[in-house]
Structure 1
Amino acid sequence: MKRRLAVAVDVAVRRGAAQRLADGSHTLYDRLAAGLTAWVSAGRRDDLTGYRAALGPLLRLALLCTLAYGAYRAARAAPWVMWLAAGAWALAAWRAAAPDEEPVEDPADTPNEASPEAPVKAAVALLREVLRDRPAVHLSEVLAHLQEHGQGKGWKVADLRARLEALGIPVDPKVKLRGVPTRGVRAADLDRHFPTGETSSSPTQVDAA
């Protein structure tokens, strides 16, 4: 059932080209930032101390700034370069957001009803299971719960947020738990938009049945 929940949420969102570009751009940005940060940090010399050990990262950072300024000057001199860069980025983002593989459903695991409300009910049931009797839950905890059960591999919190919002599930940007405000889902919002009587039982109850 948990596999069906994750697949249903994923399939429901992949219908939008704009959303795929947004997801891919987010992935590209994370990869680029992580790669450049690692490259700059790798310039530090462990065999040196003081300011000399930091010369390598500083030189690499200066090189990146020079390249960025050169790209800016080239774009100002030839604006068409920006169109090429935008097209290349869009193509890379589209490929970056492509699914690794198409989900294969076991016929025995296929839901009997093909109602469009099924993915929403499944997602709400999952959230209620993670919430238990608490007033709110962070999306990071929901994602961790999915990944503990082998689902949502490679997802980030932003991916889960986009999928929930595409299903019409309200996500609060400032849920404060243990003194930390971040994106999450409130039980009161779920009750208001999806009364308990209108959602399916929790995945645990379904599996137990």
Structure 2
Amino acid sequence: MTEKIFPTEKLIPTLLYPVTGLASGTPVLVRKLMAPHHKQRAEAAALKAKRERIAATAADAAEVAFAKKLITETDPVKRAAILQAQEASQVAAREVALERAKADRKAARSKLGDTVGAAALMLIVGGPLVWSLARPWIGTGIGLLIGGWWIAALMHAPNPEKNPTPADALTEAAPDTPTAQPETEPDDADEWIQDSPDEGVLWALIRHTASLTKQGTAAHLQAVLDEARKRGEMTDWTVADLVEELDSYGVPVAPQKKLTIGGRAINRQAVLLESLPEADPAPAPAIVQPAATSAA
């Protein structure tokens, strides 16, 4: 225990260690004490992100199901009624969410007021009694607290003689370290390049997808992928892959863009036509027809 708190290799470091150890060990001790709190916050953030992903997936699935139902409905009156019902449900859901948030804020304020009132009552009623009992022990308690913290900081302080700095460690390990070999690109880089469509094909697909909307000024990324798969392009791509591909050309992506498709307004990630680089217009690739099976 003595060697853990006070290094005994040299006299001067030993004499200075009560101060240097306190200064270097306090940050380590604070990080160790705060580690459970940081872990809980990280877990809470991960759980919140998971819930948001699940909610977004459910919303996308509901939109797809609604779009299929709307497309299959041929009666204009029923289509208008379906759209009105969806708008009314969205407004009602928004109102419920606002009312719930308002109720949560009111409950939080009420709970805070109750806590403050109880604390003030306890301070007024029990404060003088607690002070009269604890006053003789305040100095002793503060001394014990400072002494305990000082000992804990010394126990957690790094010893520079036993723990060399990273530069010293690299210097000592340099003779046995083999010469670094140039890094090679990962194998999947070639697959990515081979799977990427030509630049002209990509712009043509985006412009064709935008022409299917009422506005004709932008294209949803998911719709671009759907049109590309019909033509045998980007068959295994995700929206994140398409965002990365557009970013490689310096084309920004709008986080949300409302476009009207088939009489229904949809709000999703999109690429604006005005953001595309200037290029000669090219037709979109033809839709791939399934191969006909020969009769037996």
TM-score (norm 2): 0.27
Greater RCO, CA 8 A, separation 6+: 1
